[in-house]
Structure 1
């Protein structure tokens, strides 16, 4: 009997001359690798339904071990924004990559499927792509074995007043205890406050978030450091995002220089 399941395509890889290996986050069965015979062929009927970031309802064979198979596609949708906006595509790819890195295959994780689907919907609606990725970075840290205190000073429990983040103490420090870590992050207060907010709320409760570029850079500075030095996960999509931002900065500098010389 065939299985019917909901899926979000994480990625696809070439296999042999005409075949594909397609990694899909399914709601019912967790992350699964599917073998798609002749998936690279010009006339493969489901080519559009197995593109990365596609959301679909599939029918197929889910095997307890080894590869699974797709027999039919009931419905599918790839939001146009992911074809038109390189940055949003990269951030959504990164979100799915984080989930892929945090969990073993074949383990049902419906809560993360639902969150990824919510993130995709919010991105389509115009929500800030980096903030969505930051949300996943924060909430996946425990699944990577990293427990952090975002809300209260790790020394005294203070929850109000100026705060900073300490890698050494795995959480925030109130102003009275900044001296215990001379290498604290010296975070911009606005950026740290946004991260604290992201850490305490459910994704569906966040309806809008207007962030300045400087605030987003500060948020990324902390989370990038945590993932590079404590988690040890380096995904290709994140490297692409870094390169994209560097290119944007170069273009902005050239534009500024050009305006000054005019």
Structure 2
């Protein structure tokens, strides 16, 4: 059967001497594996379509398994996401997170739009850490683990101060914080931003200036939620951590 989709390359791997296999997140929301013949050749017509983070139109024939590309057109290369080390690290993390979270038969057209907006925002120079946290919130929501950030997960208290418990999946008030000795301190600004991230469509993101202290709180909070709720071991996140140590 012939498929015609818009897709974003979230994984690309060599196959044989001259070919590549790409994994696409399609505008329908599903994933598709597609063989791009001759992609590694210098004069390949479709070599650029097999590059990570590429957004394009893909036509491929597919039976029960892997598809084979018949025709394709570039829409956005996202060259900067491959050419700048920090952007490449964040984009690789987002792509791997998407690939590992979304099953082959799952469908979320909204997630496709959010991934497209995520890469576009990074390309435009918006803070990649903030963009990544917004996308992580979308992933938690898709997986059914959207955190409780409005009231204490134990007693329902809405009066702070609060701490963030990744294991409990949300905030704990001062009366309940003893239930998780490892809960993280959560300043008022970081708490407000986390609630904003939970509601915000990435396509509406403007420029947000965040202090280094608040960014550190946001990173620790999102890391705790992702680790406790999803428990994924991602190679790309290790590279991000190494990059942080060099800054």
On whether the aligned pair clears a TM of 0.5, the verdict is yes
How many Å separate the matches in 1 of 2:204 and 2:31? 26
Change (3 A) 1:76 1:158: same
Give yes or no for contact 1:164–1:192 (8 Å, CA) kept in 2.
Answer: no
Residue 23 of structure 1 corresponds to 23
CA contact (8 A) 1:11 1:23 kept: yes
Distance in 2 between residues matched to 1:2 and 1:180, nearest whole Å:
55
- Match runs of 1:84-103 below 5 Å: 84-103=83-102
Query: How far apart are the structure 2 equivalents of 1:229 and 1:173?
Result: 15
Q: 1:195-206, aligned counterparts within 5 Å?
A: 195-206=194-205
1:58 corresponding residue in structure 2: 58
Partner of 2:207: 208
Aligned equivalents of 1:237, 1:170: Cα separation in 2? 24
2:153 aligned residue: 154
Secondary structure of 2:185 counterpart: coil
Runs of 4+ in 1 over 4 A off after TM superposition: none
Shift of residue 115 of structure 1? 0.7
Structure 1 stretch displaced more, 183-192 or 208-217: 183-192
Q: Which runs of 5+ in 2 are unaligned?
A: none
Q: TM-score, normalised by structure 1?
A: 0.84
Distance 1:196 1:89, change over 3 A: same
Cα distance in 1 for residues equivalent to 2:82 and 2:176: 48
SS at match of 2:217: helix
Contact 1:164 1:189 in 2 (8 A): no
Tell me if the contact between 1:8 and 1:54 (Cα under 8 Å) persists in the aligned partners.
yes
Which residue number in structure 1 is paired with residue 42 of structure 2?
42
Contact 2:19–2:37 (CA under 8 A) maintained in structure 1: yes
Question: C-alpha distance in 2, partners of 1:114/1:160?
Answer: 35
Q: Deviations over 1:149-206 (max 9, x none)?
A: 1121223433343221123532112334434443321234332332122113322333
Give yes or no for contact 1:29–1:106 (8 Å, CA) kept in 2: no
Secondary structure (helix, strand or coil) at the match of 2:23 reads strand
After TM superposition, the score normalised by the length of structure 2 is 0.89
In the alignment, structure 1 segments of 5+ residues that lack a partner are 249-262
Which deviations, in whole Å up to 9, do the C-alpha atoms of 1:94-135 show, x marking residues without a partner?
A: 222222111211433211111111112222222211111111
Aligned residues: CA RMSD: 2.2
CA distance in 2: counterparts of 1:88 and 1:101, whole angstroms? 20
